Amino acid sequence: MTEHSAQNPKKLFIKTYGCQMNVYDSDRMVDALVPHGYVETRDQDDADLVLVNTCHIREKATEKLFSDLGRLKKLRDARAAEGKQTMIGVAGCVAQAEGDEILARAPGVDLVFGPQSYHRLPQMLDAARSDRIVDTEFPEEDKFAHLPRASKQATISRGYTAFLTVQEGCDKFCSFCVVPYTRGAEVSRPVAQVLEEARNLAAAGVREITLLGQNVNAYHGVDDKGRAVGLGKLLHILSEIDGLDRLRYTTSHPRDMDDALIKAHRDLDTLMPYLHLPVQSGSDRILKAMNRRHTRDDYLRLIDRIRAARPDIALSGDFITGFPGESDADFADTMKIVREVGYASAFSFKYSPRPGTPGAELDDQVEEQVSTDRLAELQALIREQQVAFNQSCVGQSFDVLLEKPGRQPGQLGGRSPYLQAVHLDADSDLIGTIQRVHITGVGSNSLNGELVAKNPEISVTLQHGRESVAATRT
SS (H, E, C) 312-366: CCEEEEEEEECCCCCCHHHHHHHHHHHHHHCCCEEEEEECCCCCCCHHHHCCCCC
Q: Return the residues of window 181-210 that contact ligand F3S according to CB under 6 A.
A: 182-183
Q: What x-and-dash track marks residues 208-237 binding ligand F3S by CB under 6 A?
A: ------x-----------------------
Q: Which of 233, 236, 253, 350 binds ligand SF4 (CB under 6 A)?
A: 253
Contact code string over 343-372 relative to ligand F3S, x by CB under 6 A:
------------------------------
Binding characters for ligand SAH, 56-75, by CB under 6 A (x = yes):
-xx-----------------
Contact with ligand SAH (CB under 6 A) among 265, 310, 354, 423: 354
User: Three-class SS of residue 54?
Assistant: strand
- The residue with its CB nearest to ligand F3S is 18
Q: How far is the CB of 287 from ligand SAH (least distance, A)?
A: 12
> Per-residue contact track with ligand F3S, 77 to 96, x per CB under 6 A?
---------------xx---
Q: Which is nearer to ligand SF4, 184 or 190 (CB)?
A: 184
In whole angstroms, the minimum distance from the beta carbon of 296 to ligand SF4 comes to 17
Q: Identify the burial level of 194 via C-beta atoms within 10 angstroms of its C-beta, where 0-12 means exposed, 13-18 middle and 19 or more buried.
A: buried
Instruction: Output the residue with the shortest Cβ distance to ligand SAH.
Output: 318
Contact 393, 438 (CB under 8 A): no
Helix or strand (DSSP H, E) at 25 = helix 20-33
Give the type of residue at 192: A
Sheet holding 274-276: strands in order across? 274-276, 314-321, 345-350
What residues between 189 and 228 interact with ligand SF4 by CB under 6 A? Answer: 214-215
According to the binding rule CB under 6 A, does residue 214 interact with ligand SAH?
Answer: yes
Separation between Cα atoms, residue 338 and residue 299, nearest integer Å: 12
> What is the three-class DSSP state of 57?
coil
327: Cβ contacts below 8 Å, ≥ 6 apart: none
For CA atoms 463, 465, 470, 474, the dihedral sign is negative
Partner whose binding site includes residue 188, from ligand F3S, ligand SAH, ligand SF4, none (CB under 5 to 8 Å by kind) = none
If one asks whether residue 179 binds ligand F3S (CB under 6 A), the answer comes out as yes
Q: Which is nearer to ligand SF4, 19 or 204 (CB)?
A: 19
163 binds ligand SAH (CB under 6 A): no
Answer yes or no whether residue 458 interacts with ligand F3S by CB under 6 A. no
Name the residue nearer to ligand F3S (CB basis): 169 or 414: 169
Q: Are 378 and 338 in contact (CB under 8 A)?
A: yes
CB 214 within 8 Å of CB 251:
yes
| CA–CA distance, 105 with 107 (Å, rounded to integer) | 6
Please give the size of the binding site for ligand SF4, defined by CB under 6 A: 10
- Footprint of ligand SF4 on residues 148-187 (CB under 6 A)? 170, 172-174, 177, 179-180
Q: Which of residues 41-80 bind ligand F3S (CB under 6 A)?
A: 55-57
Closest approach, Cβ 270 to ligand F3S, in A, equals 26
Residues forming a β-bridge with 51: 14, 89
**351 makes contact with ligand SAH (CB under 6 A):** yes
86, 251, 270, 371: which one binds ligand SAH (CB under 6 A): 251
CA distance to 257, 258, 303, 318, per residue, from 265 (Å): 11, 11, 12, 21
Burial bucket for residue 315 (CB in 10 Å: 0-12, 13-18, 19+):
buried
